[in-house]
């Protein structure tokens, strides 16, 4: 048997060899890296691609966090009126993304890194032409996180990134992360990531989607009144449109920045084929089971011209059942929601049971109607299952080969899809009942008198 001393010598030799192999000859220090927080892709004029890189400037982020101002893209990206820029925007034209990064390395002092990439922005023109040629890079590159958001910009991605000027944040990476995370409390944008985008494009179950971004020029033109550029669908022109009936770049607003996110870019394969408004995106999220919360302003069912704002949340995941009859599919979708009353403009006592059921039925009819319209658009106009219904249709097959041969992405367009909504009011705020407004002449103005 091997003596104890020999075993100790062998162990010592192994430790020394291991230490010698763990050298750091190829190590690059953190302060020697240029971290890209967002990458934009446009069609090039002299080459295949125009590649825009939004690079964080750490020293300015730190100084701004200590009391200085925070700006957006610097000299090449629009500058900032307050403090030093916290990021720099550069752009090159090249045949591939790695070639573009190599070119950027020729004129900046640090090595470009995608380890902290937060967003991939495709221009609308490039998205409609097809982004399949560029997805492989994001799938293979070990630096890129699959959680990076996917955005399609109305107009060029370069202009979109140029418009990124954080106001409440000093860190551009945090700014992008927080704005893309707004789906949690608005539902006007979807929860998207480059990893999920690639998986959906390659799957047999559903089609990929992306957040819709745009530049609203009127937002920073303070001398001009707020103009109404119109909702996405003509149906919303009847009366006052809902708050989410717009898409990015057309929200009637003023202030802060001209960049905005609202709506969804719908893809068929790797090509963008259409858009959904903020309200339609919220309903799409409900069907997908990704919905969290949103403030809805429902038209008062008993008093024309008034609205009832509600905080509507998911009560349970949607119940989706699929039946297959030959090569045809029948899909039943039941949406299960609940909500709280935030205000009642008309003053009607919707806290009372007899009125509460009327309001609940109105909400159910409203959401069911929007859902039916969105599904019809997806089936007939976009021919794209953005709801993930294919995941339920797949369960009707025993073999994967049979499922693939069924070609759900084509069969979806002819599927018979029926939707119903179940909604319950949980709370009416801090009021037990609506109180009347009393004027100087002693008259009480209640909901039934307005």
Q: What are the tens digits of pLDDT across the range 202-259?
A: 999 999 999 999 998 876 565 555 555 567 676 554 456 778 888 988 888 887 778 8
For a pLDDT cut of 90, what percent of the chain falls above it? 61
Alpha carbons 148 and 118: distance in angstroms, whole number: 5
Considering the domain 292-450, what is its CATH architecture?
2-Layer Sandwich (3.30)
Contact 39, 20 (CB under 8 A): no
Is the pLDDT assigned to residue 68 strictly greater than 60? no
**Residue 436's pLDDT is what?**
75
**Residue 192's pLDDT is what?**
93
**Residue 183's pLDDT is what?**
87
What is the number of other CB atoms lying within 10 angstroms of the CB of residue 239? 9
Greater confidence, 450 or 328?
Answer: 328
Count of residues making up the chain? 450
pLDDT digits (tens, 9 = 90+) for 303-353: 998 999 999 999 999 999 999 998 899 999 999 999 999 999 888 889 888
What is the number of other CB atoms lying within 10 angstroms of the CB of residue 296? 22
Greater confidence, 7 or 322?
Answer: 322
What average pLDDT does the structure give for the chain? 86
CA 383, 384, 389, 390 torsion-angle sign: positive
Q: Map out the domains of the chain as residue ranges.
A: 30-287, 292-450
Is the pLDDT assigned to residue 54 strictly greater than 90? yes
Is the pLDDT assigned to residue 66 strictly greater than 70? no
Contact 342, 310 (CB under 8 A): yes
pLDDT digits (tens, 9 = 90+) for 382-416: 999 999 999 999 999 999 999 999 999 999 999 99
Alpha carbons 145 and 194: distance in angstroms, whole number: 8
**Residue 80's pLDDT is what?**
43
Q: Which two tokens stand for residue 70?
A: 């925070």
Mean pLDDT of 56-72: 59
Is the pLDDT assigned to residue 5 strictly greater than 60? yes
Its pTM stands at: 0.85
**Residue 143's pLDDT is what?**
92
pLDDT digits (tens, 9 = 90+) for 93-111: 999 999 999 999 999 988 9
């Amino acid at each position: 048997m091997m003596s104890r001393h020999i075993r100790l010598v062998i162990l010592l030799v192994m430790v020394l060899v291991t230490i010698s192999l763990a050298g750091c000859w190829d190590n690059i220090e953190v302060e020697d890296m240029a971290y890209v927080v967002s990458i934009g892709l446009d069609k090039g004029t002299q080459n295949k691609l125009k590649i825009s890189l939004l690079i964080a400037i750490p020293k300015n982020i730190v100084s701004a966090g200590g009391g200085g101002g925070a700006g957006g893209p610097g000299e090449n990206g629009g500058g900032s009126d307050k403090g030093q820029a916290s990021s720099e925007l550069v752009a090159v034209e090249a045949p591939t993304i790695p070639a573009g990064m190599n070119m950027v390395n020729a004129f900046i002092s640090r090595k470009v890194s995608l380890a902290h990439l937060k967003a991939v922005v495709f221009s609308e023109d490039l998205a409609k032409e097809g982004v399949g040629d560029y997805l492989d890079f994001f799938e293979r590159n070990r630096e890129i996180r699959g959680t990076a958001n996917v955005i399609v910009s109305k107009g060029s991605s370069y202009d979109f990134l140029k418009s990124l000027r954080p106001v409440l944040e000093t860190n551009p990476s945090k700014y992008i992360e927080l704005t893309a995370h707004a789906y949690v409390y608005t539902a006007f944008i979807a929860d998207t990531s480059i990893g999920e985008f690639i998986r959906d494009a390659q799957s047999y179950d559903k089609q990929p989607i992306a957040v819709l971004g745009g530049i609203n020029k009127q937002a920073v033109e303070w001398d001009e009144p707020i103009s109404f550029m119109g909702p996405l669908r003509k149906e919303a022109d009847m009366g006052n449109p809902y708050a989410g009936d717009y898409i990015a770049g057309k929200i009637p607003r003023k202030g802060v920045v001209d960049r905005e996110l609202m709506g969804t870019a719908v893809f068929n394969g790797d090509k963008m084929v259409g858009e959904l408004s903020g309200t339609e995106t919220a309903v799409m999220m409900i069907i997908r089971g990704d919905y969290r919360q949103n403030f809805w302003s429902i038209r008062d069912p008993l008093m024309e011209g008034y609205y009832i704002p509600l905080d509507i949340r998911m009560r349970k995941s949607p119940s989706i059942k699929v039946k297959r009859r030959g090569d045809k599919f029948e899909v039943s979708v039941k949406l299960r929601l609940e909500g709280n009353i935030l205000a009642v403009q008309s003053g009607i006592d919707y806290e009372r049971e007899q009125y509460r059921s009327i309001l609940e039925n109105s909400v159910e009819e409203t959401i069911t109607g929007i859902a039916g319209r969105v599904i019809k658009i997806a089936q007939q106009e976009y021919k794209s299952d953005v709801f993930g219904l294919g995941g339920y249709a797949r369960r009707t097959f025993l073999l994967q080969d049979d499922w693939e041969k069924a070609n759900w992405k084509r069969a979806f367009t002819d599927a018979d899809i029926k939707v119903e909504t179940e909604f319950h009011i949980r709370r009416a705020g801090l009021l037990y009942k609506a109180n009347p407004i009393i004027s100087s002449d002693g008259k009480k103005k209640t909901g039934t008198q307005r």
